[in-house]
Structure 1
């Protein structure tokens, strides 16, 4: 089984049809149909530019003509010439339909809390634009082009992270996005947080006046939870791979039993992801003189070593599920009402309900919590003198110095916090809009909590790597596998050998930053997978 991989140099040399060449740069063309997570990596991590597919623009224009016809003929259609939510039965006069959109955006822009990271804000804009490019939302071409231009100029809305119920769309967060199109609110630009209007004046951009339906089309959708979800997935995928690598180092430091990774064991159970993790572990320990055979030093290892393929494999199963749902949602029409069948049919429905992504985010945070859970147990085996033959807590002077004793406490604390955060947000629902919207998903809350779980789990992985490196050095780094020696050499440039007690908080933060940043150069490192190769950058 081949797990999804990041873009490689070959991918850029032979771009798919959804890429265009413009001004010497590759540009990802949006059409509302086939946006991928790999392309989102390029857009959000590399600030890749986006374009608009001409065929999809034809559909955008056609749906707009339908909206203008509805307004001209005076037909009553939700969101075009009516109020919203419980106020959907209130008819709005023709001369007020533009003002209706202005009031909608301003009144709904009531998010609170710390802003989403700029990367999430950029992802929200891309996903909202991709949804509008399906041609079901009735916005003008000027709206989609404005979103495109803001993305390409790297003008990103400041969007508060709290305030969405995850049904009726991510109304509050997306309203803050929509404000920026109107020249209101705040943006991130060139490393600063600035009033939107100041940036518009600097860049000679005119604010848009939203027309009938456009305000609703911009805020009815799941783009906040999905944007956070996409960033979460990318971070979690990387973390899961890192945990496989770090676990292989711990296995060698503890002279673990290689028989537990025999391919026949995993084929006997049949989970493809479990088999891939076992294969990866075999590859990572290949050539090691530290791993043992069953009966050589002990008959069986503890579960935190023996069951790495079973536990990590189950995490990869969840990641595959999450990836599938996110990919569908990234290309979904989540507006209401939708202009379907070439604009001939206008139907109110509930595609804005975030339940699929709410479930996916809850599954994700449970899975990543387990990565941290089992990693913390390996940390305990590395530092507990009752469970190994190392000096207590890997200290160079036990008694006078505490070594890595309290580092394990920190891992335990983070794991415990994750157990609280992993409580599913999707099981909660609070009615809103005078009980018209009487069931909501809380998907954005689940996505935000998943972010926190991933951040905590990354720190636990950093702690395991610090402890594992120290133990491996005591065991004899020269006896480890070649891949493990390479990892050890790279990581030692981040956190040097522990010769005496020091402020380990600095080490944990530096290692965590390395794991979340420079641990892998995706164009040079490969995961081990069926039919693939492994290349290690030894620079």
Structure 2
């Protein structure tokens, strides 16, 4: 691969473990991909390809190389047709539907598959590995439909679009244009490859799409968790709430570590308020008082979810595998995405709970019965202009709709296993569907968080204007958050459309551009 350009940090495939944070950075091009030039790494890849060649020379039987695929494993492929079989696999799986993966999701998918192939268990050539690495480096992105995978035998149909692109046959996005991959390769001085006997199967028969999507969803979930935590602080301030709900002694009495951390962050946000304010109510409503107990569930689950997903990303998850030392063919089921599905199903349930929490907090802010003196719907209009202005009334309705849709998507995908492919794939993971659901739940929850962030910022500024709060009481951490929001969204005095602003704030919350720091 050519030398890196620019000042971006790099990640070297074949020399380091890929975790979800680096995967997210690769997907967003904050990290530059490189392929190892270490002779030991390259030797393992070359030896893996040699194992396949040697087996074929010795008339060895290899699933998907000298046999048909799936239930057609009982069908022997004549030696003179073995070379054609990989291209047929990529072609007959070209039946994907639905939206195309975004550039970020596609880069993540390429990265995850590359990690697997450089481990040397998959029987692919150096030519394939180098071309795949160059596609990632040069941003030659296969157009991958998101629908059509049941999550075992891996992501066959979506990954066929990568295999076909490597062979020069599929569309890619390159320099802002859709074109055939062979055209993009030619423009970059590259050449498509002829897929060798195991290579289409090695590309396609794994968990790269679901793992990539789940990895992005996990990193987004961290940002949404942080946003929900900060918004709880902002809501408590806005309703002149009881800061002692977050007392350290309370949480030492029920010491879930994640829950304790969430309470600590809120407590530190509210420390200036506690020193200068007496609460209006002895006990605030559950959406404020119990927020650490809601957010803390995801915070406590996150290390385990991250560990499971990182293990999957750094695994050899195709079939068959070749022992790098002996060349023995190992037929198994590592393409099964059950662990990824568990991560995604867990994420979408817990993130939807964040949406529900934030929805209830916002409902408290806009309702004069519960907001302890804030204007109706947080309208900034006063005097004779007040009757015709409705502030965040419709936004709160939208938040309720987005929350309902997020909650609707939390049904576990794994329990909807279908028997497919002549009952060969008779128990499948549904991991890719779960991962797509998780991304959609994140998007809806980010919309809720964006609306709440704008509303809570408005509420705090209304309190500052009325004198109910001072900047000393709000404190530097929350004031810094208010300033970040105000750089994107105005104070609402006269009614105005907010959709463009909401979209911008939503996108920036998901990517971390609108940061929430503790």
1:353 is the counterpart of 2:341: no
CA shift, 1:505, in A, is 2.4
Q: 1:344 aligns with which of 327, 333, 345?
A: 327
1:145-160 maps to which residues of 2 (within 5 A)? 145-160=130-145
Change (3 A) 1:459 1:192: same
Deviates more, 1:374-383 or 1:190-199: 190-199
Query: In 1, are the aligned partners of 2:27 and 2:107 still within 8 Å (CA)?
Result: yes
Question: Which stretch of the first structure deviates more once superposed, 386-395 or 85-94?
Answer: 386-395
2:35 to 30, 51, 58: 51
Distance 1:72 1:258, change over 3 A: same
| Aligned-residue offset at 1:385 | 1.0
Distance 1:21 1:285 in 2: 49
Q: How many residues align?
A: 503
**Runs of 5+ in structure 2 lacking a partner?**
465-469
On the 8 A contact 1:113/1:160 being kept in 2, the answer is: yes
Find out whether 1:84 has 2:54 as its counterpart.
no
The CA deviation string for residues 367-425 of structure 1, in whole angstroms up to 9 with x for no partner, is 10011000000001000111122222122255432221121111110111011111111
- Deviation of 1:142 after TM superposition, in Å, equals 1.0
* Residue 498 of structure 1 pairs with residue 456 of structure 2: no
**Which segment is superposed worse, 509-518 or 150-159?**
509-518
CA change 1:54–1:120 in 2 (3 A) is farther
- Rounded Cα–Cα distance in structure 1 between residues aligned with 2:413 and 2:386: 45
Structure 1 unaligned residues grouped into runs of 5+: 1-19, 528-539
1:83-105 deviation per Cα after TM superposition (whole angstroms, max 9, x unaligned): 00111111112221110011011
Three-state SS of the structure 2 residue aligned to 1:29 is strand
Give the equivalent residue in structure 2 for 1:393.
377
- 2:22·2:31 contact (CA, 8 Å) conserved in 1? no
Q: Is the 8 A contact 1:166 1:443 kept in 2?
A: yes
Distance 1:289 1:274, change over 3 A: closer
1:97–1:212 CA contact under 8 A, matched in 2: yes
* Partner residue in 2 for 1:198: 183
* CA shift for structure 1 position 341: 5.3
Q: Distance in 1 between matches of 2:180 and 2:340?
A: 32
1:325 correspondence with 2:313: no
Aligned match of 2:233: 248
Following the alignment from structure 1 to structure 2, what is the Cα–Cα distance between the partners of residues 313 and 21? 44
Matches within 5 A, 1:173-252: 173-252=158-237
User: For residues 517 and 350 of structure 1, do their structure 2 counterparts lie closer, same or farther at Cα, with a shift above 3 Å needed?
Assistant: closer
* Change over 3 Å in CA distance of 1:185–1:22 after alignment to 2: closer
Deviation at 1:32, TM superposition (A): 7.7
Q: Secondary structure of the residue that 1:161 maps to in structure 2?
A: strand
1:88–1:32 CA distance, 2 compared to 1 (3 A): farther
What's the counterpart of residue 38 of structure 1?
21
1:268-312 Cα deviation digits (max 9, x unpaired): 11111111111111222232379745xx42211111111111111
TM-score, normalised on structure 1?
0.89
Cα distance change, pair 242–142 in 1 and its aligned pair in 2 (3 A): same
2: CA distance, partners of 1:423 / 1:54? 48
Q: Say which SS state the counterpart of residue 113 (structure 1) adopts.
A: strand
CA contact (8 A) 1:365 1:449 kept: yes
Aligned to 1:170: 155
Native 8 Å contact 2:443 2:510 kept in 1: no
Deviations 1:224-269 (A, max 9, x none): 0001011111111112112212221111011111111111211211
Against the structure 1 CA distance between its residues 191 and 35, is the aligned structure 2 distance closer, same or farther, given a 3 Å change threshold? same
1:413-428 aligned at under 5 Å gives the runs 413-428=401-416
Higher alpha-carbon deviation: 484-493 or 439-448: 484-493
Alignment TM-score, normalising by the size of structure 2 = 0.93
> What is the deviation of 1:47?
4.6
User: Within 5 Å, which residues of 2 pair with 1:351-390?
Assistant: 351-388=334-371, 389-390=373-374
State which of 417, 421, 431 in structure 2 corresponds to 1:443: 431
3-state SS of 2:322 partner: strand
Q: What is the CA–CA distance in structure 1 between the aligned matches of 2:498 and 2:48, rounded to whole Å?
A: 59
Contact 2:27 2:103 in 1 (8 A): no
Distance 1:291 1:193 in 2: 60
Instruction: State the secondary structure of the residue aligned to 2:441.
Output: helix
